[in-house]
Structure 1
């Protein structure tokens, strides 16, 4: 593609050099530059891409885009822009030929429930015979090709490249999680969203956004700036109602969901257990049917409602949608029950925010176990303010708590634990810094009828310690611990 065609219609501050250069690829990592690449020099929180311009040129980049002033010294074109993230999104969408216009695109944002909601919509579409792709926290799926995800929402270049591959594979729908970081950094800008979903908002990522208002403003962009045709919004969430107020002047079609009778789509007469959930479903004041689901707890009723609302927004018949619900599976590491024949229940979940942990423990409390035992930690190099809150929640809602390491990253695990313990007002806890040892000890602690929840990491298959990702999987470790105890019991 020619640079002048890429830039057509986009305002740049300055352009120095040949504007008719061919562009063979887009890169924001100098190590991935190929001949005739366009290199985006992005200044991030940890590294400044402007430092790597010489390396990018050496590797064959012939166009450099940056927010900073730069005097080209060599055979390349320099483009200065006001917002590097916006420019990257615009040029990536243009380079790949606006792939989002070729299929139905559903975006899900919110603090909790994105992964499960996205996976439910993905399953529903597949069960209805639609070729569907998925971009999310766990995997990127294109037809039968499954790739492990690197980010909840990829960079703008990766996102458009994935959408381009979806188009090449003739996907009819693509379902994507949309993180607040992605929205703040314009990664999904210039894409055509048919449906946008808001699940909820609670404390998370304040190390990045600074405060809840900025966090909400980032989420709000999906609805106000990207102009989806239809929106599906949780009306039981205070920020969901704030979003509804923001949309009053827009022409967006809205489906509100929740447990409130004022919602367009709501659930009544709810039953829950270790077998799943069941509820009566109303839409626009009319009762449709009882809905059965394998997914556990009230939180997953919200996720089911969000998914059902999204399918309605896409134009599918509600009766056809409801016929699928009993066949749907939970996402990996989301209230996932680990069963090796033990006389107690073990659940692995990704809950890593105060709100998610509270809802998880309230759900498990309602399942009728004898004791509720919680194992969790908090991530390093992240919002320290949530640590004592999570300690207070875990201690208050559990009979016993094992506090351990999560992903300490560059922090000392002991210091993270000390922050957690500041919120605990009782002595119903123990600290075991080694996560594997903590899981084995927690499993040994269980009596018949107890419920043990291992929270924080869910589907993750690593621990991040001092800049390295060390293989570690809660689910596999739980299985090993259960088998070890069962083997000893029967010897």
Structure 2
């Protein structure tokens, strides 16, 4: 395959269009002789810094949005958009695996990871060979791959799709982040089904406005540079659902709590052991029993049910698939060492997610007629949307009995400055609170403050096993730290 065949209309200028290529890379460390190197800026490293190195390694061509430097002009390919060009090249080189599979993309602010896990579990219960791509990890017919981004770069995605095809797989379910949509990581890929969970404030450090953030999510339903999805499954309870439902018209299926949704629940029972409910669907009633906890998971189960209905999966198989879905790491995950209070680790890191988490716990305490308190520990990420910090403080203060503010990946910001931003909202509420920038010590404080029957929420990091300080990642796991502190307190599992 030649450079010109690979990149086609994405080329702005090149003198090596007829150069034969044997593959492609965007990471210079993996480049082999005869491959094309795609140079574009990353979050921390710019691929252009390695141009001379890849030339020495025998790169067939270098693809970039920039004008060619004189000393490598003979191998330079200038394109309009680097990541979109990479996506197009990957799809062409691997012969469009996206069109040979059923791609199901799930987007929204909260709930993507759990929804993807539920869909995948239902598919596997139906005997379908799948790939699952998401925040925690990726699995291709059971083979696990660690996740760097929620949605990988297009080249990695296409390689996963190709691997799934080689394993006789048919369906790939993936989280599609707003970053991936804006940056072009899924550009030109043909999604069979697009799923929308919800929209609330997040990532405004990147998108700069809610309108831009919303448009990024909406682009998946408009095709994201490819063909518009054949089916869409939309949360009708969300404010922008009408706009999304109108894009695909008759091929859209709605889910939610209202009686006019195509997929809707009834007889919901929620406790600390999980959820039980009946789900009304166009294919009949579905009895659900799940170990997933918290009423916010009702919506995730409805979304997964809607997707399964679209693919003709029976309600009995849907029930079995939901029941088999294991607890998702870092999502309402309990840490138990025999202590007389509950410890929950959750990824909630947006105002909406934090509110849903605390309200769910309060509801469960009421169900069990418990007088237990809610002790909430959280922080806000550095170098990220500052505007949500006061809101999260106010939410936590209104709904908790004690709040412990701490660090959560402060990156290049002073942790105390981040905490001060959160305090602006927290101090609007009359609630007890403590400040401790050292997250390990903060966990110690909140756990030693707990009494019998209380619920301790360690929010924000969930499945993450690191803390980012400056540009360095150091190991840190809320779950492991909680176990260590509980052990020091004399509790053993």
TM-score (norm 2): 0.93
Q: Which of the residues 328, 331, 334 maps onto 2:325?
A: 328
Matches within 5 A, 1:25-424: 25-44=23-42, 47-74=45-72, 76-225=74-223, 226=226, 227-248=228-249, 253-284=251-282, 288-368=285-365, 369=370, 370-424=372-426
Contact 1:72–1:78 (CA<8 Å) still a contact in 2?
no
Number of equivalent positions:
483
Is the 1:280–1:287 Cα contact (8 Å) retained in structure 2?
no
Displacement of 1:296 after TM fit?
1.1
**Alpha-carbon distance in structure 2 between the residues aligned to 1:188 and 1:324:** 28
**1:23 matched to 2:24:** no
**Which secondary structure state, in structure 2, belongs to the residue aligned with residue 122 of structure 1?**
helix
1:132, CA displacement in angstroms? 1.4
Alignment partners' CA distance in 2, 1:476 and 1:276: 23
Distance in 2 separating the partners of 1:297 and 1:22: 55
Which secondary structure state, in structure 1, belongs to the residue aligned with residue 383 of structure 2?
Answer: coil
Partners of 2:11 and 2:379 in 1: how far apart?
A: 46
Q: Displacement, 1:471?
A: 0.7
Q: Are 1:475 and 2:473 matched, yes or no?
A: no
Instruction: Look up the SS of the partner of 1:79 in the other structure.
Output: strand
CA deviations on 1:236-271 (whole Å, 9 max, x unpaired) are 0012222123444xxx61110000111110012322
**Aligned alpha-carbon RMSD (Å):** 1.9
| Cα 1:364/1:391, change in 2 over 3 Å | same
Relative to structure 2, which stretch is displaced further, 323-332 or 168-177? 323-332
Cα pair distance change 1:434/1:2, threshold 3 Å: same
1:128 Cα offset (Å): 2.3
Distance 1:44 1:350 in 2: 25
Matched residue SS, 2:411? coil
Question: Which position in structure 2 is the counterpart of 1:458?
Answer: 462
Question: CA offset at residue 44 of structure 1?
Answer: 4.8
Give the secondary structure class of the aligned counterpart of 1:271: strand
State which drifts further: 349-358 or 81-90. 81-90
Instruction: Give the secondary-structure state (helix, strand or coil) at the position aligned to 2:241.
Output: helix
Matched, 1:449 2:446: no
Q: What residue number does 1:7 align with? A: 7
Structure 2: distance between partners of 1:361 and 1:450 = 13
Mapped partners of 1:186, 1:487: distance in 2: 49
- In the alignment, the residues of structure 2 paired with residue 50 and residue 144 of structure 1 have an alpha-carbon distance, to the nearest angstrom, of 36
In structure 2, stretches of 5+ residues that fail to align are none
Given that 1:109 and 1:198 are in contact with CA atoms closer than 8 Å, whether structure 2 keeps it comes out as yes
Q: Matches of 1:428 and 1:246 in 2, distance apart?
A: 47
Partner residue of 1:435 out of 424, 436, 439: 439
**Secondary structure at the residue paired with 1:305?**
helix
1:401 deviation in Å? 0.7
2:320, 2:474 → 1: CA distance? 42
Say whether the 8 Å CA contact 2:344–2:456 is kept in structure 1.
yes
- The SS at the match of 2:287 is strand
Contact 1:137 1:149 in 2 (8 A): yes
- CA change 1:399–1:39 in 2 (3 A) is same
Question: What do residues 160-200 of structure 1 show as CA deviations (whole Å, max 9, x unaligned)?
Answer: 12222222222222111110010111111222212111000
Question: Which consecutive residues of structure 1, in runs of 5 or more, have no partner in the other structure?
Answer: none
Q: Would you say the 8 A contact 2:338–2:491 is kept in 1?
A: no
Distance in 2, matches of 1:62 and 1:75, equals: 12
CA contact (8 A) 2:334 2:343 kept: yes
